Amino acid sequence: MKLYVGCAMWALRPWVGRWFPSDTRSGEELAAYATWCTSVEGNTTHYALPKPETVARWAELAPPHFRFCFKVPKLITHEKKLRGVDAEVEEFLDLLTPLSDRLGPVQLQLPALFGPSDLAVLADACRNLPRSVEWAVETRHPDLAANGSHERELNDLLASNGINRVILDSRTLFSVPPVTALEKEAWERKPRLGVRPVATARQPLVRLIGTSDPAITIRGWSQWLPKIADWCTQGLTPHVFIHTPDNHDAPDLARRFHDAVGELAPELEPLPDPVETDHQLDLFATDIDRS
- Dihedral (CA of 265, 266, 272, 278) sign: positive
Q: Does 229 reside within a domain?
A: yes
User: Would you say residue 27 lies in a domain?
Assistant: yes
Are 22 and 28 in contact by the 8 Å Cβ rule? The answer is no
Closest C-alpha among 71, 103, 72 to residue 85 = 72
Distance CA 81, CA 174 (A): 29
* Bridge partners (DSSP) listed for residue 51: none
**CB neighbour burial string for 230-249, b if at least 16 within 10 angstroms, e if fewer:** ebbeeebbbbbbbbbbebbb
Which range of residues forms the domain containing residue 118? Answer: 4-286
How many angstroms separate the Cα of 138 from the Cα of each of 53, 60, 128, 242?
29, 29, 17, 16
> Crossing angle, helix 29-36 and helix 250-264, to 10 degrees?
30
Q: What is the DSSP string of 10-64?
A: S--GGGBTTTB-TTPPTT-HHHHHHHH-SEE--GGGGTSPPPHHHHHHHHHHS-T
Q: What is the mean pLDDT of residues 4-13?
A: 96
**pLDDT(290) > 70:** no
User: Strand order of the sheet with strand 106-109?
Assistant: 67-68, 39-40, 4-7, 239-243, 205-209, 164-169, 135-138, 106-109
Distance CA 248, CA 270 (A): 23
Whether the per-residue pLDDT at 57 is higher than 90: the answer is yes
Q: pLDDT for 178-235, tens place per residue?
A: 999 999 999 999 999 999 999 999 999 999 999 999 999 999 999 999 999 999 999 9
Asked if residue 152 belongs to a domain, the reply is yes
Please state, as a whole number, how many other Cβ atoms lie within 10 Å of the Cβ of residue 214: 19
CATH assignment at residue 37? 3.20.20.410
Give the percent of the chain with pLDDT over 90: 93
CA pair distance 188, 206, nearest whole angstrom: 21
pTM over 0.85: yes
44 in any annotated domain: yes
pLDDT at 285: 42
In a domain, 263, yes or no: yes
Could you give the C-alpha distances from 114 to 79, 102, 111, 144, 192, in angstroms and in order? 11, 30, 5, 9, 16
Q: For the chain, how many structural domains are there in total?
A: 1
Answer yes or no: is 291 within a domain.
no
Structural domain contains residue 272: yes
CA 64 to chain centroid? 18
